[in-house]
Amino acid sequence: MEIPDRSAGRPPITRVAVPAIAFAQHPGLVERLLALYPDAKVNTEGGIYYRGEDETIDYLAGCEAAIISFEKITDRVLRALPDLRVVSKLGVGLDQIDPIAMRRHGVRLGWTPGVNKRAVAELALCLAMAVLRQVLPCNLSMRAGDRPLTRLGRQLSGRVVGVHGVGEIGQEFIRLLQSFGCRVLGCDIKDRSAFYAQYGVEAVSAEELAARSEVLSIHLNLNPTTRNLYDIGMLRSLRPDCVLINTGRGEVVNEHALYRALTEGWIAAAGLDVFETEPATDDALLNLPNLVATPHIGAGSIEARWEMGITAIEGLTDNFIPVPGKPPFEFF
């Protein structure tokens, strides 16, 4: 059966909408977009359009192309937007985009892998070091006027560091670890043997990763096989001195299980940049002294935002019809 393509035989796109609030945080991106698409509609007022499909539909009504962040692109959204021909992604995560619906409606996808990998990898490294050295408890103690004389933490140098998901960001994280003399364990469903050989990474199973890692950094995308992967069973299998870092997707880690792990001593501490619900709502978890939390700022550097925005603009013209089950949707 012939696959439809809403752009086939039609004139160039002129009506562009950007509901993603992150795009306008870099004024240069707005200027670049408007220079190319003078009639573009850009969210500069800070409203959030990814909380529900209705908000996204309302914002994109009548537009031919969209630059999105966390807005859901589903069959219902696409049926309600017959003019929409291209969806371009600000960033790399595709878990909110339904490739089956995209292909069914003939809507093209602009997407560039790895565009924010350095920014996210740096934050993962930052969280690991902050948790190991107990930066947050010391900071809170200082603010409370306690002025502790000393507090012992652990160095990252020489630790056994597990990396779950060795794609673009996981690989960048491993590169950053090179100067710390860590023993690095890698776990991925793909064959990463060439990369492992170059950077001295030991390939292990998920079970061995959990059993051996002193620091375990999650860099998995969200799909049916990874959702709630870190449940009670998985968290109980970690070392009691393990530091868990998640800069991938929040729903990979079950937060109720993580709360028990942190309060009952299954693991030592955690650093999270992503949560099951965003903005995060579980104050009981967020207020734990052995948790360092940031509000999904992994890609929130000036440099990364510029690269993400530029590639998203390029994606309005450099795009493709998604194929479910194939890259970049092979795990959908």
**Are 273 and 149 contained in the same domain?**
yes
What amino acid is encoded at 44 in this protein?
T
Cα 263 to Cα 137, 204, 246, 271, 284: the distances in Å are: 15, 28, 18, 14, 10
88 close to 68: Cβ distance less than 8 angstroms? yes
Q: What is the CATH number of the domain that holds 63?
A: 3.40.50.720
Domain span at residue 240 reads 117-293
Same domain, 154 and 188: yes
Using the CB atoms, write b or e for 179-207: b if 16+ within 10 Å: ebebbbbbbbeeebeebbeebebebbeee
249 is catalytic: yes
Co-location of 274 and 138 in the same domain: yes
**Is residue 30 pLDDT above 90, yes or no?**
yes
At residue 18, what are phi and psi to the nearest 5 degrees?
-125, 90
**Are 109 and 147 members of one domain?**
no
Average pLDDT, stretch 85-107?
96
Tell me how far apart the alpha carbons of residues 178 and 144 are, in angstroms, rounded to a whole number.
37
Active site residue 278: yes
Total number of domains constituting the chain: 2
Do 77 and 97 share a structural domain?
yes
Closest by Cα among 215, 214, 219, 183 to 199 = 183
When pLDDT is averaged across residues 208-236 and rounded to a whole number, the result is 97
The answer on 213 and 155 residing in a single domain is yes
Q: What is the DSSP letter of 193?
A: H
Q: Is residue 323 part of a domain?
A: no
Do residues 153 and 250 share a domain? yes
Determine which one of 249, 255, 276, 305 is catalytic: 249
pTM of the model: 0.93
Same domain, 178 and 285: yes
- Shared domain check, 277 and 134: yes
Residue 50 lies in a domain: yes
Residue 105 annotated in active site: no
DSSP state for residue 71 in the 8-state scheme: -
What distance, in Å, lies between the first and last C-alpha atoms of the chain?
Answer: 22
Residue at 3 is within a domain: no
- Determine, yes or no, domain membership for 7: no
* CA-based max dimension of the chain: 72
The reply to whether 329 falls in a domain is no
Looking at the structure, tell me whether residues 55 and 109 fall in a common domain: yes
Q: Are residues 191 and 57 in the same domain?
A: no
Q: Are 196 and 202 in contact (CB under 8 A)?
A: yes
Residue 111 sits in the same domain as residue 127 = no
172 occurs within a structural domain:
yes
Question: pLDDT tens, 274-295?
Answer: 999 999 999 999 999 999 999 9
Please determine, for residue 1, whether its predicted confidence score (pLDDT) is greater than 60.
no
Q: Cα separation of 62 and 47, whole Å?
A: 19
pLDDT in tens, 104-163: 999 999 999 999 999 999 999 999 999 999 999 999 999 999 987 888 999 999 999 999
CB-count exposure of residue 279 (10 Å: 0-12, 13-18, 19+): exposed
Q: Active-site residue among 26, 108, 296, 305?
A: 296
